[in-house]
C-alpha cells in the first residue's frame, strides 16, 4: 500500500495520498504518521485522497478504524475528509461509524469540495452524516 503524507501550509491541512490496496495495517501506520505531521504543523485537518486506492478491509476492520485513530492519538477535534473515486457501501459505513464515534469525517468524490469542507470551522458543524 504505497502512500505519501505531506502538508499544505496555505490550506492548513495534512494530505495523505493512497495508491493500491488499503488494509488495516496501513491505516494504523498512516494514523501514527498523521499524528506526527499534525503536531509538527499544528494542524487538525486531514485530506485523504483514496481515488487511486481500493479498500480491502472487512466490515469488522472498517468498524475498528475510529478506535485505531483514538489509539494512535488523533485529536478528537481533527476533521478528516476522504476523497474516493466513488462512494461505496464500505465508505458509507466508514463515515457512519466514525461520526457515531464522535469523530469529524466526511466522504467526498470531489477533491475541491472536500478541501472547502475542511475549511469550515469544526465547532460550527453538526456531527451527523449528510
pLDDT tens-digit series, residues 99-123: 999 999 999 999 999 999 998 876 6
Report the predicted TM-score, pTM, of the whole model to 2 decimal places.
0.86
Q: Is residue 130 in some structural domain?
A: no
Query: What is the dihedral angle through the alpha carbons of 104, 19, 114, 39, rounded to the nearest 10 degrees?
Result: 50
DSSP 35-76: HHHHHHHT--EEEEEEEEEEE---HHHHHHHHHHHHHHT--T
Inside any domain, residue 9:
yes
pLDDT digits (tens, 9 = 90+) for 48-104: 999 999 888 999 999 999 999 999 999 989 999 999 999 999 999 999 999 999 999
Residue 38 lies in a domain: yes
Q: 12 lies in a domain?
A: yes
Q: Judge whether 30 lies within some domain.
A: yes
Number of independent structural domains in the chain: 1
CATH number of the domain bearing residue 48: 3.30.750.24
Rounded to whole angstroms, the Cα distance separating 5 from 16 reads: 4
Q: Evaluate whether residue 129 is within a structural domain.
A: no
* Domain containing residue 45: 3-124
Closest CA to 38 of 18, 15, 17: 15
Amino acid at each position: 500500500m504505497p502512500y505519501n503524507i505531506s502538508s499544505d501550509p496555505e490550506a492548513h491541512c495534512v494530505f495523505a495520498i493512497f495508491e493500491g490496496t488499503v488494509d488495516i495495517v496501513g491505516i494504523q501506520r498512516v494514523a501514527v504518521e498523521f499524528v506526527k505531521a499534525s503536531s509538527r504543523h499544528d494542524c487538525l485537518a486531514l485530506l485523504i485522497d483514496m481515488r487511486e486506492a481500493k479498500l480491502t478491509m472487512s466490515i469488522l476492520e472498517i468498524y475498528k478504524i475510529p478506535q485505531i485513530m483514538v489509539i494512535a492519538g488523533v485529536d478528537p477535534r481533527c476533521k478528516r475528509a476522504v476523497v474516493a473515486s466513488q462512494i461505496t457501501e464500505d465508505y458509507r459505513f466508514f463515515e457512519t461509524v466514525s461520526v457515531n464515534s464522535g469523530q469529524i469525517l466526511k466522504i467526498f468524490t470531489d477533491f475541491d469540495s472536500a478541501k472547502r469542507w475542511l475549511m469550515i470551522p469544526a465547532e460550527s458543524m453538526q456531527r451527523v452524516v449528510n
